[in-house]
Amino acid sequence: MNLVKTVALLGILSALLVTVSYWLIGGTTGATIGLLLAAIMNLGSWFFSDKIALAAYNAQPVSQAEAPGIYEIVERLCDRARLPMPAVYIIPTASANAFATGRDPHHAAVAVTEGIMRILPEDELEGVIAHELSHIKNRDTFTQAVAATIAGGISWLTQIASYSMWFGGGSRNDNRANPVVMLLTIMLAPVAASIVQMAISRTREFAADAGAGNLTGNPRALAQALQRLEQNARQMPLNANPAFAPLLIINGFSGRMMANLFSTHPSTEARIEKLLQLEQKLLG
């Protein structure tokens, strides 16, 4: 069911890109350009999603000799999950976070911050890594990268249109002659794209949490890690392009009512509750 929902949301996001192109570029030509942009972005995400995400967070590749502790955890969990070993990256920041990326399990990477390695004990760090490997196994990493790329494209188009509208003297295309439609598109399209992108992310987080709990056999450790990470994220958020925020294991706004409405993740409280319910089932 989650897969069907995710595919439907990606379809909506691509359709939104075509619609924005129709109104901002103009008519059939604009819609055609939108379709081409969607195809190019999806193809680009297929081949370059890992490189784009890693560059966005300045993640640096490390060898087993450079980070033996992380490598040991990743190797152990990959053997248990029957996954190929992903590339391992470290993000040079005191903020505590992690993410996975890549188009499939054979072309994947796991990135952790220096901060997360400092504040989490080994069992909790194992839970976080298991969460990221679950994303890889479920191919969520590619799905989220496509969503981020399309949402970013919509934001770029509306920004260019905004500059053109205010500083370019208006459009010569009859299909774009209505300034009210253009203004509404410029204002609402990025918001709509972000909401759909966030919904895609939320459909994947609970499944990755459950996958991690089953993989480690210790859902409580991940629940405790999420608690620590939320507190850290409020004090030291991992700043980068907001389009890639859904990749992170946690954001800095979970649990606040208004922020949760527009969050890339379910509330931390809800995630912890489900993990503790899973613990009871495993014990049970």
For the chain, 284 residues long, give each residue's pLDDT as a single digit of tens: 455 655 666 667 667 766 666 666 665 665 566 556 666 666 666 566 678 889 989 999 999 999 999 999 999 999 999 999 999 999 999 999 999 988 889 989 999 999 999 999 999 999 999 999 999 998 887 677 667 667 766 776 677 667 666 655 444 444 444 677 667 767 777 777 777 767 777 778 998 999 999 999 999 999 999 999 999 988 888 876 666 777 889 875 444 444 554 576 888 999 999 999 999 999 97
Number of domains in the chain: 1
CB count in 10 Å sphere of residue 265:
24
From 124, 132, 230, 279, the catalytic residue: 132
Mark whether 269 is an active-site residue. no
List the domain range (segments joined by +) for residue 108. 2-283
Question: How is the beta sheet containing 87-91 ordered, strand by strand?
Answer: 60-61, 87-91, 107-113, 98-104
Q: How wide is the angle at C-alpha 2 spanned by C-alphas 124 and 87, nearest 5°? A: 45
